[in-house]
Chain A
Amino acid sequence: MESYALLLAATLNAGTVLAIASLGLLINEKVGIVNLGAEGMMLCAAIAGFATVVSTGSDWLGFAAGMAVGAALAAVFGLLVIWLNTNQYATGLALTLFGTGFSAFVGTGFVQAKIPERSSFAVPYLSDIPLVGPALFRHHPLVYLTVVLALLLIFFMYRTRSGLIMRSVGESPESAHALGYPVRRIRLLAVVAGGALCGLAGAYISVIYTPLWVEGMVAGKGWIALALTTFATWRPARVLLGAYLFGGVTMLQFHLQGIGVDVPSQFLSMLPYIATIVVLALISRNPQWIRVNMPASIGKPFYPGA
């Protein structure tokens, strides 16, 4: 039982990374922009966050640095895609290639660096409940804040006027433009916000999840986060659910190894990627279902007057 409580705890932790990044990408896609640069932004944010924590000792400054880097890179991407009308897929890919190289380049000095040991986190009283306590209530505050973030996003998107405008930009930029909304500025804002969240997720990886810096340490989590938005049919609550599900798959490999399943570790390491492919195929199987839920202008450029 004890080991299942730990598995659940690890699942929440791993799921949080995916949830934060995927919620950010959801904001992007809701206004019609797909940012394939997620992996690159997360890597740059991971090294920025890690370096900041190493030199200042403050986790929260590390998160802030990660968010700033994510937002800055997303802004460059946004300017290219939204104002210069470049192809979204190619531009995002350029961002990922650049980010992968740049983070490795900047990070060489930090490969051996260590973050000081920090006290573990615990919600008072609740964390003492047997099994449930260690599983649910001994996490970094960000784990709980992520749930709050998802709830806020749901409220914003479906209960506020700004959220409605945002969604209308994604459904039909032409109509939103005709109604007088600054489509490009809204899109840029959403892209930057999404980048900041990807950055936060990246910093969480290098500061809390595995507190160290290794080249390419995001290991495809940015891509899995991208797949999650489709999996969730662009609904924040389902993004959260999917993120924990995939966090569980990621952690399952260690659990299976722990209980002595005799399968080469490489096959267990494939699990999250194969699970992503399988789930993507199953969800996408019904084109109608995807078409109904997908923001209509996704991946399409919009240039007023063009």
Chain B
Amino acid sequence: MKPMKIPRIKNGTVIDHITAGNAIKVLHILNIPQQQGSIVSVAINVKSHMGKKDIVKIENREIAHQEVDKIALIAPKATINIIRNYDVAEKHKVILPNELIGIAKCSNPTCISNGGEPVRSRFIVVDKEKPRIRCYYCEREPDDIASRII
């Protein structure tokens, strides 16, 4: 057995199969780490049978899947594993929610959401499989979603 790049965790959440190179953005979307929060380990460009991937392990914190689902925007193949006493107690794939609020900036410079108004950015998810989102306000679809993450 090959040694693990980052050690197993006893309790917490493992986000696996993150699109290689996107782990930092995933952490940003999930607002992790927080001050005085749990230990977070990140592995980037890990080799797997499906090519390269990123992995995030968050100790002593179980993240509700509704909270994590929004990362499907930039990591559509990610899986969420809830770990209890070193075992995988729950496992599921991320599924994009119908709407995303406050996590991406509209790519249209003349969109009202970029105009200093007291609103958070809001996107309607138009395709959950190959992530496509449309600004709720101006209806523009950003080409490069990852670059629009706030």
Q: Do A and B bind each other?
A: no
Q: Which residues does B use to contact A, with CB under 8 Å?
A: none
